[in-house]
Amino acid sequence: MLNIKLPLTQAFVVGNVKAIQTALKAGADAMTLKELSGLLGLSQTTVSRALNGYPEVSEATRKRVAAAAREHGYAPNTRARALATGRAMAIGHVIPISSKHEMVNPVFGDFIAGAGEVYSRNGYDMLLSVVPDDDEDAAYRSFLTKRNVDGIILHAPTLNDPRIPLLNALGLPFVVHGRSSDAQAPYAWVDVNNKSAFQRATDFLLDLGHARIVLVNGLEHMDFAIRRRAGYEAALKARAIPPDPALMFAGEMTEAQGHDLTRSLLAGPNPPTAFLVSSMITAMGVRRGIEELGLTMSRDVSLITHDDDLSYFRNGADIPVYTATRSSVRDAGRKAAQMLIDIMQGRDTAHEILLEADLTLGQSTGPAARLKVETG
Amino acid sequence: MLNIKLPLTQAFVVGNVKAIQTALKAGADAMTLKELSGLLGLSQTTVSRALNGYPEVSEATRKRVAAAAREHGYAPNTRARALATGRAMAIGHVIPISSKHEMVNPVFGDFIAGAGEVYSRNGYDMLLSVVPDDDEDAAYRSFLTKRNVDGIILHAPTLNDPRIPLLNALGLPFVVHGRSSDAQAPYAWVDVNNKSAFQRATDFLLDLGHARIVLVNGLEHMDFAIRRRAGYEAALKARAIPPDPALMFAGEMTEAQGHDLTRSLLAGPNPPTAFLVSSMITAMGVRRGIEELGLTMSRDVSLITHDDDLSYFRNGADIPVYTATRSSVRDAGRKAAQMLIDIMQGRDTAHEILLEADLTLGQSTGPAARLKVETG
DNA sequence: TTGAAAGCGATACCAC
DNA sequence: GTGGTATCGCTTTCAA
């Protein structure tokens, strides 16, 4: 059990770590272009050109240079290169975190993973700024003035998000993860189809015979929340069911809120039989509320969650879980990153990508039984 | 409901966005030191010194310079500064993601959030590399040779992690998030006390009368998994209960694994009455398995989860949830970041921080009832 | 207290 | 095909 393989070291040795180590132990810093060219008896110009694949270098020299670079573990200094080229070869992400509850939306991890994949394939670094949502301007200002990124991915857009005209005016290329309704100017975005996802989910619950379906949504200045509510309402309207304000909630997406809401709704008169929840975290609270009342998930109450194209809930044998899978968030990250790179490099590409959620529908035990809940 | 405030724009205006916009619209790039000094009729040297708080600048000049900088939205170019000083003012995080299951451990978000907080307070940028775990060497190599970070936070250490001697040899300052048992040389780390957390959790379940407690652990080349198992075993040993290998599992921490394991264990002979789970994600699968069998959480089966100092499960009225809270992950991030900065800046600080998990014990309904499960 | 000038490590223009 | 050199924007000696 403790017989661990050490692939990392091996990989390094296969690479050029020994050379780097030797150099560092010799007290020297990492090798510079000047040193390398000195060693080769060539000019910096030629070495640089050889390494960067310029055509006017003879094949012989190129080979010689490449070999020497590998041997000595040479890699160009990013800072110097950035200064010389004017491109930072880095992309900034601003991750807003709520200052009200200490929590980071777990989907960011997946989105970032997808984006990171594309970045590293294209030689870009990823610069992260995690900032309290009441201090977000500082992060943008910093990116703008310090000029250490070539582009930005904008997360968690609100309705008519003020950052969009701002970034437009500043001329910093950006792609929005999500959309911003009522925006005045065009902008590039990658989004999942929140409306259709919630419409389908609501339809699904209605098909199962649910009549009183709770919508537990995010705060409605967030764009996604608006769209999700629209989907929910559209499904009801299609069956001529008037939306009941008593069943629609918008708030911070915390576990506690989901829990408290669920307990109070299930304990009240005319309890709902299903919950449609915007956030995985909130859904966990809903689930806990259901459990605490001694009810059985999917027999007594149904729960559907959808978290920005994410869920940890998988489709079970008889659990009506309906949700998108996490892999599609990662895909959104990849798509957004590629779009931004294309824009920055002046390629002509689609500036709008609407992803349908990668949905999974479970089999259900059927309509929820009428609940009888003892309060307390 | 649609009456949205626009604090961001305002904040920007309060800052110096207008100046930046004006400058950019004029076709100019962001202001440089040279331009600013030209405007002021001062040398670059003086302006630089004034801005960087050198003592030999007269108070009058300093004020004048500061005002002009603010007015014109000047901020030093990070790349140039990095090149000149030799410090990148950036810290790298390598986030390994499993190539087997498409999933990012959600705790990273919180750790990153805590670290990011400290970085921005200290003027550091955060550079993220999300890399498949079978290709991690590339990320380190890149950091090392490109020299675009001054230090590294090492995540997810294994037993006797080969990256530790490597980074030591390379002389790049680093702090490990977690520990690496059997490491040959000292290293700086911030870790939660996984052993005591799992020992306490097991104790708690034993106190409730549980005899057959399943341990659902992560892969045991990960250091944390070893320590968690040690805690579990220590609690059993203290009551002279021999650990039952049939109840101990180590594997990829996926939802599906938790689910499948739970279903097969609960359907088998002599089913367990409690689960102690190393990962929130896996715990969700366990929960689903329990639900699918029509069992009621905490009455029929108890579940305790602990995910690297994190849980979304909160302490409920009668649910035996025992776990650390998410805020402590964030705190670990803060502590690790501060430690690294201190090390990089040559301050003398503790190089080892062991955090006790911020645990919450719930009230329980008591010992789990003996289960009768219909297979299928 | 201020300024001139030499780097930092690359790229890229212009000769040869 | 190859090399010299200005340049990117800043910090930092060294002089004044």
Same domain, B103 and B57: no
Same domain, B174 and B295: no
Q: Is strand D in 7 Å reach of the CB of B51?
A: yes
Highest average pLDDT, of A244-253, A256-265, B287-296, B325-334, comes from A244-253
Q: Residue A103 — very low, low, confident or very high, per pLDDT cuts 50/70/90?
A: low
Model pLDDT for residues B295-351, shown as the tens digit of each residue? 766 666 766 665 443 333 333 333 444 455 556 788 899 999 999 999 998 888 999
- A300-325 burial, b if ≥16 CB within 10 A, otherwise e? bbbbbbbbbbbbbbbbbeebbbbbbb
Same domain, B310 and B352: no
Number of domains in chain A: 3
- Cα–Cα separations (whole angstroms), residue A217 to A98, A220, A229, B82, B297: 16, 8, 7, 45, 26
Range in A151-165, A312-326, B143-157 with the lowest mean pLDDT: A312-326
Q: Residue A6 — very low, low, confident or very high, per pLDDT cuts 50/70/90?
A: very low
Q: What is the CATH number of the domain that holds B30?
A: 1.10.260.40
Intra-chain end-to-end CA distance of chain A, in Å = 49
Structural tokens at position A70: 């590998």
Same domain, A163 and A48: no
B179 vs B355: CA distance, rounded Å: 12
Q: In the predicted model, what is the mean pLDDT of residues A115-144?
A: 81
Residue B310's region, left for phi above 0, alpha for psi from -120 to 50, else beta, is beta
Residue A148 identity (one-letter amino acid): N
Nearest to A155, CA basis, from A108, A118, A120? A108
A227 domain residue, yes or no: yes
Tell me which of B160 and A132 has the higher pLDDT. Answer: B160
The pLDDT of residue A151? 93
Same domain, B96 and B243: no
Same domain, B187 and B58: no
Of the residues B76, B105, B124, which one is the last residue of a structural domain? B76
B366 domain residue, yes or no: yes
User: Phi first, then psi: what are they for A25, rounded to 5°?
Assistant: -65, -30
Same domain, B127 and B7: no
Decide if A258 contacts B285 (C-beta within 8 A). no
Nearest to A321, CA basis, from A312, A329, A308, A330? A312
- Cα–Cα separations (whole angstroms), residue A23 to A35, A65, B85, B143: 12, 18, 21, 16
Mean of the per-residue pLDDT values of chain B: 77
Decide if A369 contacts A146 (C-beta within 8 A). no
3-state secondary structure of A126: strand
Range in A295-309, B65-79, B105-119 with the lowest mean pLDDT: A295-309
3-state secondary structure of A12: helix
* A190 bridge partner residues: A177, A353
* Upper half-sphere CA count for residue A137 (Cβ side, 13 Å): 15
Domain range for residue A365? 194-327+359-375
> Which residue has 């209605």 as its token pair?
A206
Instruction: Report CB contact under 8 Å: B313, A255.
Output: yes
Same domain, A102 and A133: yes
Intra-chain end-to-end CA distance of chain B, in Å = 49
Residue A264 identity (one-letter amino acid): S
- How many CB atoms sit inside 10 A of residue B58's CB? 10
Query: Residue B21 pLDDT more than 60?
Result: no
Measured in whole angstroms, how far is the alpha carbon of residue B124 from the centre of its chain? 17
Model pLDDT for residues A267-302, shown as the tens digit of each residue? 888 889 888 888 877 887 787 778 777 776 666 676
Decide if A229 contacts A248 (C-beta within 8 A). yes
Q: What is the CATH number of the domain that holds B230?
A: 3.40.50.2300
The pLDDT of residue A367? 37
- Cα–Cα separations (whole angstroms), residue A302 to A181, A202, A250, B101: 31, 11, 19, 28
Distance from B355 to chain A by nearest Cα, in Å?
18
Residue B237 identity (one-letter amino acid): K
B81 domain residue, yes or no: no
Using CB atoms, which residue from A79, A319, A326 is nearest to B292? A319
The pLDDT of residue A14? 26
B210 vs B233: CA distance, rounded Å: 15
Same domain, A269 and A344: no
The pLDDT of residue B248? 97
Element (H, E) at A178: none
Distance in Å from C16's C1' to A66's CA comes to 25
Q: Residue B288 — very low, low, confident or very high, per pLDDT cuts 50/70/90?
A: confident
Tell me which of A360 and A284 has the higher pLDDT. Answer: A284
B84 domain residue, yes or no: no
Instruction: Report CB contact under 8 Å: B130, A112.
Output: yes
Same domain, A367 and A228: yes
Element (H, E) at B152: strand B151-154
The pLDDT of residue A28? 40
Residue A150 identity (one-letter amino acid): D
B191 vs A274: CA distance, rounded Å: 41
Tell me which of B151 and B105 has the higher pLDDT. Answer: B151
Chain C nucleotides covered by protein, CB below 7 Å: 1-5, 7-13
3-state secondary structure of B155: coil
B85 domain residue, yes or no: no
* A360 bridge partner residues: A323
A133 domain residue, yes or no: yes
Distance in Å from C6's C1' to B21's CA comes to 34
Same domain, A182 and A287: no
Range in A347-361, B321-335, B358-372 with the lowest mean pLDDT: B358-372
A81 domain residue, yes or no: no
Of the residues A20, A51, A76, which one is the last residue of a structural domain? A76
The DSSP code for B320 is: -
Distance in Å from D6's C1' to A83's CA comes to 14
* A277 bridge partner residues: A216, A305
Of the residues A48, A76, A104, which one is the last residue of a structural domain? A76
- Residues of B in Cβ contact (< 8 Å) with A136: 8
The DSSP code for B173 is: -
Instruction: Report CB contact under 8 Å: A326, B103.
Output: yes
Same domain, B69 and B149: no
Taking the stretch 63-92 of protein chain A, residues with Cβ within 7 Å of any atom in nucleic acid chain C are: 75-77, 80-81, 83-85
A208 domain residue, yes or no: yes
pTM of the model: 0.84
